[in-house]
Structure 1
Amino acid sequence: MSESTGGGRVIVIGGGVGGLASAALLARGGAQVTLLERHSRVGGRAGRLEVDGFTFDTGPSWYLMPEAFEHFFALLGRDVEDELDLIDLDPRYRIFFETADARGADILDVTSSSEQNWAAFDAMSPGDGQAIREYSQEATALYELALERFLYTTFQRPLSVADASLLPRLPQLAGLLTRSLGARIGSRVSDPRLRQLLGYHAVFLGSAPERVPSLFSLMSHLDLVDGVRYPRGGLYAVIEALERAALEEGVEIVTDADVARITVENGRATGVRLRSGRTLSADAVVSGADMHHTETELLEAQYRTRPEPAWKKVRPGVSALLVMAGVEGELPEIEHHSLFFTQDWDANFRAIMDERTVPHPASVYVSRTSATDPSTAPDGHENLVMLVPFPADPALGADEASRETMRQHALRYLDQVGDWASIPDLRARTDIKAMLTPSDFATSLSAFQGGALGLEHTLRQSAMFRPRNVSAKVDNLLYAGASTAPGIGVPICLISAELVAKRLLGETGVKPLNTPLPHGYLRRTLRRDRLGALAKAMGAQAVPTEGAL
């Protein structure tokens, strides 16, 4: 690895989705990019574990928002269909609703047929099928609005978001921001089970239905209208595709490279120092690491946008107990995606978010990728991943005694899944291969308070109120990933990488960049502003016209 700056040298910290995507875009722009990853392989939260013939995703497992994937790869002149082998899931997922005696469960399959779904919902609760049909139509309109106005902007010029076309909708948007998702759902749907169907997306946002703005009802478009897909090989196949793209764009990826400090001179990021003591120079630094870690550990105190005391007001979002297991024999009772919902899930969320206690029973997500992709398990076995939302508490799983407690929790949740899905011998057939606890997220990923997903999407931590993707104290220091705008999730982190590119371009508009980006686009189009040192190094001349998706 060269230690000289060269023209337009950029260091990217972290090989997660945001880091890999940022590196690929900046290298295509003509920057000399080195990506530094602490671990022996890239992936970050979106990791992979291979053990005893089983393959597990150790993080995200839902492939949603296909437009974001298509657009990102198109920026690099690639077709997502060539990068990923995508399989449409049908049913999209199965829900197990806890019954009064907690033995067995009411079961609902959400299929690829919208009409079939509306009829099934109506059979559960007359009138709710039509109500959810209308709710999903509104979700689609809100999703399209988010793509057009909110997701692809840095909010550097907030007023640019509200053009004439948006003004008539401002009263509606104000209501969607000030009212909770849970309240909106409760006003539309009467059956508590179907309310859960519409509200579980809050967990994808690191939160609970009563804590996120009802604008996020747009997420029901993703599963009820757009569909659910699976990339063969698991979500880590996305990481492999990003890694391929980055390498082919010229990114130098260095693993086992742990960054200890971002170096700053005269208020400008000038590189990094590794824990090994080696110092690497750069014209700009992009941190795809957890923002709390970046601000409080990688920067000296005088350069922190948020000093440590300010983080007391920041919500980390939920953590998780993630259990990866192999099961002998078949599991037809469980679909590729299965959700297990407790009756009193308000109490479940209170335990996790407010009381910071471990709930039993719990609302549990179970993934069985071997239902779709037999290569993820040996012959005669099934692949099972169980995710239980947990309090963001890095003490959970931090020592040997606590880890054994986590294992006992895992066995109890396994029994719960077996009871509800009518698999009485599930525990006897199951071998737990690995677990991830809040402590693991805190230590391995440097995640704020051991959160599993990123900063919680409350109103104060969403859209223009979310931590910006550029430092307020250090020039040429930018951020990507789940701690910054626009937020949590694999496709959203892809968008965060594009926002890094837009910052360097001086693009303040709301629309995505044109596809494909021309090679060397940064050399021609960087402007000389507060990122002027990088602009000068790369021979900037003009600002590009705004593109469209």
Structure 2
Amino acid sequence: MKRRTPAGPAGAVAPGSRITMIGGGIAGLASAALLARDGYRVTLLEKQESVGGRAGEWAQDGFRFDTGPSWYLMPEVFDHFFRLLGTTAAEQLDLRVLDPGYRVFFEDGSAPVDVRRERRLNEELFERLEPGAGDRLGAYLDSARKTYELAKRHFLYTSFASVRPLLTAEVLRGGPKLARLLLESLDTWAGRHVSDPRLRQILGYPAVFLGSAPKLAPSMYHLMSHLDLADGVLYPQGGFTRLIRAIAGLAEGHGARIITGVEATAILTERSGTKARAFGVRYRDAAGAEHTLAADAVVSAADLHHTETALLPRHLQSYPERYWRRRVPGPGAVLLMLGVEGALPELAHHSLMFTADWDANFAAIFGRPTKVPEPASIYVCRPSATDPSAAPPGHENLFVLVPVPADPVLGAGGVGGTGSERVERLADTVIGQIADWAGIPDLASRIRLRRTVGPADFARDFNSWRGGVLGPAHTLRQSAFLRGSNKSRRVEGLFYAGGTTIPGIGLPMCLISAEILLKRLRGDITTAALPEPLEASGGAGQGSPADVKAAR
């Protein structure tokens, strides 16, 4: 039986249409919230028992851990998203400014340095470590700010459905510089401004936020330094799951229905003229029973590789397995969640530990063959430095991320040392590294709670491509319009959102991804962010529970 999608602008999906969404991570929740406010009838299916995806939470013995993202950058993106929904970040979150934004430790034993909340103080830091570098950092950050503003106006909020809106005087005038920023690596660009290895590492590290390496990421991404060296780093009290709860609440408040503990097993399609059209999703509940949920359009905010290769038949895949064989995955990760007795003032809220052989570290992760770096450059988060709810009185909470190759064979984690042998051995090594580099010789003996997570966990829990923690790396061939599209080329009415599609990796990018999705459904090819607050473009609004039940 042919199913009719409500009419709308050419290529669009009209408000009032039934939207079935797959994946309740931040991108799925943000998409559900925006679409429901715009009048779409949204039902979201989430595999886990709780929403959040990688931005989850684990609590035990009075300790509470964010299990994923922990950096609150690009605050204006969060502010804009909340204002679209008729509220503000200030109303939804209790945000604290971190000062220092983060602390950096170096393998060579030189004194750790603090990156501060004020640009002026960071310019003074660079000047102390390398005479003349303060002024050069100023020029670097000026360029980063201009590039960031250009990206927001023309590249971040577009679906690249048409090139016409990109052909502005500003973009064309900046063409030569844009070409250079795309073709030259971030590492080379940073090296033009500073020579001290420590400073080059500070300027190159933002590549890791993009699931990439300084020598792989285009220098366009030096714009990231504007975010931490000039814009500052924030933290939401209660952790990042507070952000997830806020967005989920807004989605439901605007009428979206969220169903957890159900796993999508297929995107249902039928022939429509010369093309296929998505008309629903088949899913399995906790008891193993199969159900179908009808839809006028389907949105998958799950991992793009999983969506394409597991939920669609081969002949309808826009991104089949051969496509992924040519892609560069971002890193995998071994995570440590440690409950520690006593204070740890040696560590800031965010601490980075950089190895001396920077190139070898990234080559181990991105080269061929891959291997676990020894030692590894690691990230340590101590949220209990800012948030008393993260640990019991007299204790500290440490979340440690160790970048490793994206490879599920490295194994899974566990509680109390029960993970796979390779994961637990690496965890022991990293605990020793933190103790040594930060000057906490009794760290291991003070650990009262320990949990590890490995690449196999990411593959199992989040259907993550190759067990990666972030998604495809931001290389030249995997950025902007060369990244995965948010619309299927082979199935009408099938759309994508999240870090594995445009615009890319990170919480702010996932919020922008949701907005780009809405623009795609509206047939909106503009490049600017939508006006605030979001005004519904029409339609009868979200359906009642009876409507949703009837569609199942």
| Amino acid of the structure 1 residue aligned with 2:378 | V
Give the Cα–Cα distance (whole angstroms) in 1 for the partners of residues 136 and 431 of structure 2: 34
1:84-95 to structure 2, matched below 5 A, reads: 84-95=93-104
Please name the residue that 1:8 is paired with: 17
Q: 1:75 aligns with which of 84, 97, 102?
A: 84
Aligned residue in 2 for 1:538: none
Are the aligned partners of 1:337 and 1:367 in contact in 2 as well (CA < 8 Å)?
A: yes
- 1:15-26 alignment, distance < 5 Å: 15-26=24-35
Distance 1:462 1:112, change over 3 A: same
**2:112 aligned residue:** 107
- Distance apart, 1:524 and its partner CA: 9.1
- The one-letter amino acid of 2:160's match is F
SS of match in other structure, 1:50: strand
In 2, the alpha carbon distance for the partners of 1:79 and 1:187 equals 40
Contact 1:505 1:522 in 2 (8 A): no
Q: Give the C-alpha shift of residue 356 in structure 1.
A: 1.4
Counterpart in the other structure of 1:33: 42
Distance in 1 (alpha carbons) for counterparts of 2:227 and 2:449: 32
Give the C-alpha shift of residue 160 in structure 1. 1.8
Q: Which residue of 2 aligns with 1:347?
A: 360
SS of the residue aligned with 2:518? helix
Match of 1:426 in 2: 443
Is the counterpart of residue 292 in structure 1 residue 305 in structure 2?
Answer: yes
CA distance in structure 2 between the aligned counterparts of 1:445 and 1:235, rounded to whole angstroms: 18
**2:126 aligns to what?**
121
Match of 1:166 in 2: 171
SS at match of 1:278: strand
Of 424, 431, 435, which residue of structure 2 is paired with 1:407? 424
Normalising by structure 1, we get a TM-score of: 0.92
Q: Deviations over 1:237-291 (max 9, x none)?
A: 1111111100100111100011000000111110111133111101111100000
Measured against aligned partners, the alpha-carbon deviations of 1:277-327 in whole angstroms (never above 9, x if no partner) come to 111101111100000000000111121102222210122211111111101
Distance 2:265 2:457 in 1: 19
Alpha-carbon contact 1:36-1:254 (below 8 Å) kept: yes
Aligned CA distance change for structure 1 residues 133 and 8 (closer, same or farther; 3 Å): same
| Secondary structure at 1:366 match in 2 | strand
Query: How does 1:99-248 map onto structure 2 within 5 Å?
Result: 99=108, 104-248=109-253
Say if 2:350 is the partner of 1:337: yes
CA deviations over 1:138-161 (Å, ceiling 9, x no partner): 111111111111100001112421
- Residue of structure 1 equivalent to 2:468: 451
Q: Quote the residue 1:391 is aligned against.
A: 405
Q: How far, CA to CA, are the matches of 1:369 and 1:421 in structure 2?
A: 17
Partner AA of 1:363 in structure 2: S
Gaps of 5+ in 1: 526-549
> Match of 2:409, SS?
coil
Distance in 2 (CA, whole Å) between partners of 1:137 and 1:353 is 31
**Residue 367 of structure 1 is aligned with which of 381, 398, 423?**
381
Alignment of 1:474-485 (within 5 A): 474-485=491-502
Alignment match of 1:381 (pick from 383, 395, 414): 395
Deviations 1:7-45 (A, max 9, x none): 511111010011001111111111111110000000011
Contiguous gaps of at least 5 residues in structure 2: 7-15, 542-552
Q: Can you list the C-alpha shifts for 1:114-137, whole angstroms capped at 9, x where unaligned? A: 222212211111111221121111
**Aligned-residue CA RMSD (Å):** 1.7
Contact map agreement 1:396 1:402 (CA 8 A) in 2? no
> Aligned partners of 2:483, 2:163: CA distance in 1, in Å?
13
| Range with greater deviation from structure 2 (177-186 or 6-15) | 6-15
Q: Displaced runs of 4+ in structure 1, greater than 6 A?
A: 399-402
Correspondence 1:507-518 to 2 at 5 A: 507-518=524-535
Residue number in structure 1 paired with 2:9: none
* Residue 425 of structure 1: how far off its partner (Å): 0.5
SS at match of 2:485: coil
Which residue of the partner structure matches residue 539 of structure 1? Answer: none
Say whether the 8 Å CA contact 2:118–2:232 is kept in structure 1.
Answer: no
Q: Which position in structure 1 is the counterpart of 2:548?
A: none
Instruction: Tell me if structure 2 keeps the 8 A contact 1:98–1:106.
Output: no
Contact residue 340 and residue 396 of structure 2 kept, 8 A: yes
Deviations 1:176-227 (A, max 9, x none): 0000000111121110100000010101110100001000000000001110
**Equivalence for 1:59:** 68
Measured in 2, the distance between the counterparts of 1:342 and 1:54 equals 30
**Distance in 1 (alpha carbons) for counterparts of 2:134 and 2:241:** 36
Aligned to 1:499: 516
**Displacement of 1:433:** 2.6
Aligned twin of 1:321: 334
Deviations 1:442-496 (A, max 9, x none): 1110000111011110111100111100000111110000010000000100000
Q: Which amino acid aligns with 1:413?
A: V
Question: How far has the Cα of 1:522 moved from its partner?
Answer: 4.4
TM-score in terms of structure 2 length? 0.91
What letter matches 1:123 in structure 2? R
Q: Which residue of structure 2 aligns with residue 253 of structure 1?
A: 258
Aligned residue number for residue 544 of structure 2 = none
1:270 to 267, 279, 283: 279
Stretch moving more, 505-514 or 308-317: 308-317
In the alignment, the residues of structure 2 paired with residue 34 and residue 43 of structure 1 have an alpha-carbon distance, to the nearest angstrom, of 16
Amino acid at match of 2:465: F
Post-superposition offset of 1:431: 3.6
* One-letter amino acid of the structure 1 residue matched with residue 322 of structure 2: P
Question: How far 1:402 moved relative to its partner?
Answer: 7.3
Q: Secondary structure at the match of 2:539?
A: helix
What is the CA-CA distance between 1:79 and the residue it aligns to? Answer: 1.0
Residues 12 and 287, structure 1, Cα contact 8 Å, conserved in 2: yes
3-state SS, counterpart of residue 211 of structure 1: coil
Provide the residue aligned with 1:468 in structure 2: 485
The question of 1:312 aligning with 2:325 is answered yes
- Opposite residue 91 of structure 2, the aligned amino acid is D
Conserved 8 A contact 2:413-2:454: no
Corresponding residue pairs, total: 517
The equivalent residue for 2:547 is none
Counterpart residue type for residue 168 of structure 2: D
For residues 298 and 334 of structure 2, the distance between their equivalents in structure 1, rounded to whole angstroms, comes to 33
